[in-house]
Structure 1
Amino acid sequence: MTIAVTTPTGQVGSRVVRLLLQAGVRPRVLVRDPARLDAAIREHVDVRRGDMTDAAFVREAISGARTVFWVDPTPHSSEDPIETSDRTADPLIEAAQDGDVARVVLLSSVGAEKRHGAGHIDGLARIEERLDATAADTLHLRCAYFFTNLFMDLDSLAGGVLTTPFRPDVPMAWVDPRDIGDVVAARLLNDDWKGHEVQAVHGPEDLSFQQVAAILSEVLGRTIRLEVVGEDDLRGALRSAGLSPSAVEGIVGMSAGTRDLVPEQPRDVITTTPTPLAAWAYAHLRPAVLQATS
């Protein structure tokens, strides 16, 4: 069983690599800088060193792998993020078309089911469509909003403010990336599924940003005030940061395009993962906020 893992040092990929090793699998990992791999892990994996935007490297690195776990490495701040996501996946699509890869597990997102109108998520939707047009078995994991996105608001949280472009009172799915890694590893190790499948990863419960602010207030031991940022204000801030028009719309579109979304797959025993936000925040966010405050 040969499994190739992209972004093996990321929030999800690092968890996947560790679980595969514990299952007795030596994964093939695509990584730009092997030094970023945990030293204890490095000797147990097949390292392929290169840049994920280098099509020739990616094509060679994944060739012959039975299964590929694909995480789009494109930053939201890219000049044209949707086009870049699509183009970066070209060698994966080619390998699937040529039969060099038999199965692909894609880290996708809630909102990809819309196909258009969800900002940078549209790039994942395009990859889903292209993979499903091949003969490879494909699984698209449509994941909820990551708990770890809260780290992007660390300075504001240290000052007692949580900012969001989402509607404050509308519940949405939230998930711990570690739990996503558990689902990914289970699917990579299961050799029985065939065809083209979609599985949502919704986390333990839907939460509005008002509820999130209340949870964080309790965990952090301070009042966290919610501040809603309008789309025009968000655009202005992103432009001031030097982002291109395509990048700005890619970021704004993710929240605007999923604001009233009802996910294609309902919450059930398959799509629900266990870690609650409060437990994750106490273990991970609280120490980071305390450090930022000090």
Structure 2
Amino acid sequence: MIIVTTPTGQIGRQLLGTLLTSGQPLRVIARDPSRLPAHTRERVEVVPGSHSDADVVTQAFAGADAVFWLAPPNPQAVSVEAAYLDFTRPACEAIEKHGVSRVVGVSALGRGVALGRNAGLVTAALAMDDLIASTGVHYRSLAMPGFMDNMLNQVEAIRNQGTFFSTLSGDRKHPTCATRDIAAVAARLLLDDSWTGQDDVPVLGPEDLSQNDLAAIMSEVLERPIRYQQIPGDAFRATLIEHGMSDAIAQAMLDMLTAKDNGLDNAEPRTPEFTTPTTFRQWCEEVLKPAVLA
């Protein structure tokens, strides 16, 4: 039995689509089961509720061989500890109680680099990994840079203003990855019962690109000028709070981006084993362009 959390999210939805073709028994935890496609609800066991709830994960993890774990974004959390560690503690208790064999979790690049620095959400994600690992479960932490798919949050600005925004320097090159590739790596690990121990699995797209590089590629694919505009950190933080994010999470977002701009994501060497196939250009052609033209 494989358990999938966040089955309607960007990664979980694509992961579930792959797992449904495997013939393995599947159980999902869904806060709102009605968001699952009808054909999916017919083929999986659904446990309604939040996977931060002890009763929910205790029920869901019974008889589980493997769990896909993702702590979803919580913009209103009072702290990063609440968003990651408090959220995950009930699951760790359920993992131990039911003797779950393997967990594949969504985390971030930065282990060995973020230590001793405040990397905001990354620091919290790595602490979550340590919490899960403390149960003794066989664990693979998917260590990722920024998602290409996060650009979808700026579709309106790209469509109407020809601009996208961040606090990152325009010329510093960073790795990125596509969520569909993350889902593919997660599926491979969840369907493989041969691995043991605890380790990080970097998930790196095939190239490092700067924000200005991204703008140039988007301009070519969308056949219109797209430019990148760097915004000051204080203004970024204030905008997040204005849109309803808590002070703590807004600051953690800014701290994460600052750490990335200082090389946090560039420390992991790109090897064939950890390189995923989707280029940013391909992602723009297949995902961003249809969204902008919609």
For 1:215 and 1:130, the matched residues in 2 are separated by 40
- Contact 2:51–2:91, Cα closer than 8 Å, also in 1: no
- Contact 1:74–1:81, Cα closer than 8 Å, also in 2: no
- Contact 1:168–1:228, Cα closer than 8 Å, also in 2: yes
Alignment of 1:214-225 (within 5 A): 214-225=216-227
| Match in the other structure for 2:86 | 87
C-alpha deviation, 1:242, in angstroms: 4.1
- Alignment partner of 1:71 is 2:73: no
| Match in the other structure for 1:96 | 95
| Match in the other structure for 1:199 | 201
For 1:66 and 1:42, the matched residues in 2 are separated by 21
Quick one: structure 1 residues 239 and 23, their matched pair in 2 at CA, closer, same or farther if it must change by over 3 Å?
closer
| Match in the other structure for 1:117 | 118
Task: Mark the runs of 5 or more structure 2 residues left unpaired by the alignment.
Answer: none
Query: What TM-score do you get using the length of structure 2 for normalisation?
Result: 0.93
- Alignment partner of 1:152 is 2:153: yes
| Match in the other structure for 1:250 | 252
C-alpha deviation, 1:99, in angstroms: 5.0
The aligned amino acid for 1:14 is R
- Deviation string 1:235-267 (CA, Å, 9 cap, x unpaired) is 222233343321221111110122222555321
- Contact 1:112–1:124, Cα closer than 8 Å, also in 2: no
Quick one: structure 1 residues 102 and 135, their matched pair in 2 at CA, closer, same or farther if it must change by over 3 Å?
same
Query: What TM-score do you get using the length of structure 1 for normalisation?
Result: 0.93
The aligned amino acid for 2:187 is A
| Match in the other structure for 1:140 | 141
After TM superposition, the runs of 4+ consecutive aligned structure 1 residues lying more than 4 A away are none
For 2:266 and 2:101, the matched residues in 1 are separated by 28
Out of 152, 164, 167, the position equivalent to 1:165 is 167
For 1:41 and 1:245, the matched residues in 2 are separated by 38
C-alpha deviation, 1:58, in angstroms: 1.8
- Contact 2:75–2:246, Cα closer than 8 Å, also in 1: no
Task: Mark the runs of 5 or more structure 1 residues left unpaired by the alignment.
Answer: none
For 1:263 and 1:197, the matched residues in 2 are separated by 19
* Structure 2 counterpart SS, 1:12: helix
- Deviation string 1:205-246 (CA, Å, 9 cap, x unpaired) is 111111000000001111111100111111222233343321
For 1:289 and 1:59, the matched residues in 2 are separated by 42
Quick one: structure 1 residues 199 and 8, their matched pair in 2 at CA, closer, same or farther if it must change by over 3 Å?
same
For 2:235 and 2:171, the matched residues in 1 are separated by 20
For 1:52 and 1:241, the matched residues in 2 are separated by 26
C-alpha deviation, 1:122, in angstroms: 2.1
- Contact 1:12–1:178, Cα closer than 8 Å, also in 2: yes
- Deviation string 1:85-107 (CA, Å, 9 cap, x unpaired) is 11110122112333531211111
For 2:17 and 2:291, the matched residues in 1 are separated by 24
User: Which moves more between the two structures, 210-219 or 87-96?
Assistant: 87-96
- Contact 1:171–1:207, Cα closer than 8 Å, also in 2: yes
User: Which moves more between the two structures, 83-92 or 190-199?
Assistant: 83-92
C-alpha deviation, 1:128, in angstroms: 0.8
* Structure 1 counterpart SS, 2:71: coil
For 1:262 and 1:8, the matched residues in 2 are separated by 27
- Contact 1:163–1:229, Cα closer than 8 Å, also in 2: yes
- Contact 1:96–1:135, Cα closer than 8 Å, also in 2: no
The aligned amino acid for 2:133 is D
Quick one: structure 1 residues 121 and 17, their matched pair in 2 at CA, closer, same or farther if it must change by over 3 Å?
same
User: Which moves more between the two structures, 256-265 or 42-51?
Assistant: 256-265
- Deviation string 1:53-76 (CA, Å, 9 cap, x unpaired) is 322212221232111100112324
Quick one: structure 1 residues 174 and 87, their matched pair in 2 at CA, closer, same or farther if it must change by over 3 Å?
same
C-alpha deviation, 1:30, in angstroms: 0.5
